[in-house]
Amino acid sequence: MQRILSSLLRPRVLASVMIAGCFFGQGALANDWSEAERAFIQELEQEYNIPRTRTEALLREAIKSQDIIDSITRPWEARPWHEYYKIFLTQRRLDAGIEFWNENEETLNRAAETYGVAPEIIVAIMGVETFYGTIMGRHRVLDALYTLGFHYPPRQTFFRGELRQFIQLSEEENLPATEILGSYAGAMGFGQFISSSYRHYAVDFNGDGVRDLMGNVDDAIGSVANYFAEHRWQANQPAAVPAWVSENTPIDELTSGRGQVLTHTVGELREHNIHFITALPDATPARLFAFEEPEGNYSYWVGLPNFYAITRYNHSPLYAMAVLQISKQLREHR
């Protein structure tokens, strides 16, 4: 009977193997790679000394995801401020943040002493990014970076570069490249570092010889603080202050322009009848930001160098303001 079953099953097994080969062996031949993929494989081998076989193996494992493309085309930051902030400024997030602060107080204080970044800023970043490490993402980082690097033309250059950085990172840190989960944009860990930031700004803050941003909260805290320090965070200085404008203030002119660059100075904004309180010198870089409130109203803030530092973490002024508001809540209620 066993021999009969074996003979009956063998054709099915062979058929399964042949079918599997059709699906999983497509990348085995050089002719199966797109021109962009071939160039990528060659670049990593010739310029970064990553073996061709390593890159090919990872690209074969990578899966294009329409869900990832859909997600990047509708970011939260596209919403007006009065809708955006409600996502993050909640009692639940505040309570969890206070608990996270209490549990990691020693590490947060050490990071503040080492890098000059206040604990509430670090905790707020963790809260916005991953709800203090409890929601680190559901997409394979490999899939996210492959999808956006080869199948999303608007940002393909950036994400193809991040895919290269991710492969380098996996080699340097001995990470399982096919297993790491993150955001739809390929960000990882408690603080959601992209691959290039992981390589350049992550620190081994607990001294165990490993920079682990996914499983080690000490390393994650130290790395967020180091990131801000490297982007010129100024200790004990405000990031933004509320502002009041006059009828003759050229608001459109002062708030126009793309990006987050501080286009004016404290003194120049005051000359335009913008009223705000800060002890920083008139020559300090600054910019007026308008945040949309309900019924067509706006609130105004003057962003200062530390505000710009937060936008190096995420380029959206909405993000930076949410971090500041959460940090204020944490500081006041803890």
Residues marked as catalytic: 129
Sign of the torsion angle spanned by Cα atoms 115, 117, 122, 125: negative
| Contact predicate 211/223, CB 8 Å | yes
Contact status, residue 216 vs residue 189, Cβ threshold 8 Å: no
CA distance 182 to 176: 13
- Indicate the burial class of 169 (C-beta count within 10 angstroms; 0-12, 13-18, 19 or more): buried
Cβ(329)–Cβ(94) under 8 Å? yes
Instruction: Round to whole Å and give the CA distance between 142 and 280.
Output: 44
Contacts of 163 (CB under 8 A, 6+ apart): 40, 142, 145, 146, 149, 186, 195
Closest Cα to residue 60, out of 178, 194, 196? 178
Residue 285 and residue 272 in contact, taking contact as beta carbons nearer than 8 Å: no
